[in-house]
Structure 1
Amino acid sequence: MTLRPVLIFRWIAFLLAAGYCLRTLFFGGWDGFGGPFRYLTIWALFCSFFAFSRMMAIEEGRSDARWDGFVCMTAVINTMVVFLYWRLYFADPTSVTNNGQLRAWSLELYLHGLGPLLQVIDTLFIHRAYRRLGAAFAWLIGVICLYVAWAELVVQRFNDAPEGMVTSGLPYPFLNNLELAERAVFYCSNLAVGAGVLLIYAAIAWGFRRRFPAPAML
């Protein structure tokens, strides 16, 4: 098999995602119900792993299923994770970490930097997605709603920590300082942000396809 630049890129992206997924499963911290899957970051990581596996299948000619809606949603979720995490961390480190301290930099920079960036690059410039926005919006709304239901109805119920001024058990410390109505506003506002990011990426992808109509080559 010829090692073309795009294939090399996708192999690197896929292996990195696979490695961090394995690290999460074995060393991700299972001290509370739901373990690392309490966090949206980990949902985004595993979505990236699946998305990269499908891109590899296409690149190697093993599949022609594009999964456009799913890969677009994955890029948007990853972008939301990066934006929310660093915004909340720099405002108050204890709002998203247990003690205000970051974990290993190699982990933080991948989960909240490099990994999402690789996903966005692939969807915009290699896979050339964002053609079927209806499917992308459906995936985005579905995943966010599923995560909110998981956090509010399951994770909170079966965990006592972290504790907040209002409630306890929600995965991110700051959420436990918000009333239910305030959390609903937070969830809806971030869903709106996600929809906006999807539209921005769709515009970038459209412009790129117009400027470079031939398949992109790295």
Structure 2
Amino acid sequence: MVATDLFGTGLPADADRLRTLDLPGADLRYAACAWPPAQADALRDALLDEIPWAPHVLRIFGRDVPTPRLSCWMGDAGAAYTYSGARFTPTPWTPTVARLRDELHERYGLAFNSVLANLYRDGRDTVGWHSDDEAELGPEPVIASLSFGAPRTFRLRARHTRTPALSIELAHGSLLVMEGATQRLYQHALPRRAGVTAPRINLTFRRITAA
């Protein structure tokens, strides 16, 4: 369903347009309302219900550590992914995630074969500083980050100096696209946030280009 079919509640016709964010050397675009509120609510509920959420266990400094969130690696057959010492074989696409994958291609011209789904159950769930720079993603990965649920702050910092660079409040129904040298130059994180009791779902679509 295209965005122009969904608006009619006072939102501008181009509310789903990706706008470039000012971050030196990076290619970062953001649409705060890629999916309007009623549709975003329905997508959030469907994703909560149909994704097989589970804790991922990563190998960090020689220890097996469960992540402070629930996750699911999903995608085409063969789109395995390795990060933080763990290798994940994709589960099959669920109907809603496949629909969102297709929408990204139809509306924004972005093609993906896999997605990392994360469920932040409340403000205590988090993800630490990192870059999505695994070899399977290629030298300049394109990553589309979809957010549904409680707004959370997404932070970026310079990779080599650790200097804070940008903070974005990722809205319910928003889309953030990271391309070009973004992963090479910057790290990102989602810090804890006191007072948040509602869940947030984040789908980060990717394209695996190497085994």
Determine which structure has the larger strand proportion and give its number. 2
Instruction: Flag the structure with larger Rg.
Output: 1
Relative contact order, higher structure (CA 8 A, sep 6+): 2
Q: TM-score, normalised by structure 1?
A: 0.26
Determine which structure has the larger helix proportion and give its number. 1
